[in-house]
Amino acid sequence: MSLRKWKSRWCDLITSFRSLAYGVILWVATCHPSLRAFAGPHSQEQSQPASTSLTPSSSVRSIILPHFEPQLPVAPGRDEFLAVCVSCHSPRYVTMQPLFPQRQWEATVDKMAQTYGAQMDQEQRQSIVSYLVAIHGPSMKSEPVAPADDDFAASASPSMPPETAPGLELASDVVGQVERGLELFQKDCAACHGAKGRGDGFVSQVLLRKPKDLATTRYSLEALALVLWNGKRGTSMPSWRSLPPGDLAALAAYVQTIHPSTTPTSISSGPQPAGSKLFAQNCAPCHGPMGDGKGPVASTLLPKPANFRLKQPDPDYILQVLRDGISGTAMPAWQNQIAESDRQALAGYVRAIFDAANPSGR
């Protein structure tokens, strides 16, 4: 072999080894835990035992789905879209379509309501159609839509005052009513709220504002009536007006049983002077001075701040929320601003609001 040929083969070999070395270094680097975050949603699989688990001792085969939920652009109607549509499917079902005109979006939304059981009334239907036209209609060709925005408070929807819900009557046969409510719950609520109402249904993984863990909070009948009738704007909880009043009452009766009837109160719910002051300083702007969710800032927020006259969260849950906030809402984490003992006082005060507003306990 000539020296020249030998040299060229040697260069070739070195280049190959160098490429291989680079490749190996990069490959090893991407396995490093600190870099896993960049590897995208499927990195969840690497941190789990295996994306397809089939250990010799287990006959269960399972996968973990990644989520590629797109952000919803800001435009009027976004929270109606969120309330009615996102619980069933990703918004990509919209964005992958061509830019349809209004009549096509109307036909599509009607199909969702009539065929697939999407829960919406006429006003919501209008809002949703407007939203679809705004974010994926003919005008998109000339002007791009506003950039996506995670801050739900910036929703530009016209505010729709919630309708007064019809009063829900508890039947004399409460047991039968609760049984009926359980049946209904499994049909239409469990997918989000979980079979036992713990907020862990299979849809919950994709929702930013998680479905409520109904065991953490005691709800008055009025609270349940309102949310079943109006849905919860700013979340994927739709309104269920299509259900007959008897069914709504049954659902309310059942949901009340999810919360254990006797909660060990680690925090006294008598008069709370310290709590009152803290509440006025920190919480009243959103939750209102009476704790009814109608603070001066509340009108700009979605979902709305909690009305503590209607629901009484458990002490542990209140402390957890005060510490961590609630993602998908404007409720911040207070652990660095309010001392632990003060948070305890606040919890007691908040629970006292419900007792004062609901002396009969329902």
Closest CA to 245 of 164, 167, 362: 167
**How big is the chain by its Cα radius of gyration, in Å?**
26
Nearer to another protein, 145 or 356 (CB): 145
3-state SS assignment for residue 219: strand
Cβ distance 268 to 197 under 8 Å? no
Q: CB of 2: closest distance to another protein in angstroms?
A: 14
Closest CA to 255 of 204, 213, 298: 213
Nearer to another protein, 73 or 293 (CB): 73
DSSP string, 261-330: SS---SS--S--HHHHHHIIIIIHHHH-TTSSS--TTGGG-SSPPP-TTTEEE-HHHHHHHHHH--TTSS
Q: What angle do CA 319, 323, 326 make, to 5 degrees?
A: 95
Residues that bind another protein (CB under 8 A): 8, 11-12, 15-16, 18-20, 22-27, 29-30, 35, 38-42, 45, 51-52, 59-71, 73, 87-90, 92-93, 95-98, 100, 104, 108, 115-119, 140, 144-145, 147-148, 187-188, 191-192, 202-203, 206
Nearer to another protein, 67 or 362 (CB): 67
Q: Which token pair is 5?
A: 């040929």
Q: CB of 29: closest distance to another protein in angstroms?
A: 8
Q: CB of 34: closest distance to another protein in angstroms?
A: 12
Q: CB of 15: closest distance to another protein in angstroms?
A: 6
Q: CB of 45: closest distance to another protein in angstroms?
A: 6
Nearer to another protein, 119 or 329 (CB): 119
Q: CB of 117: closest distance to another protein in angstroms?
A: 2
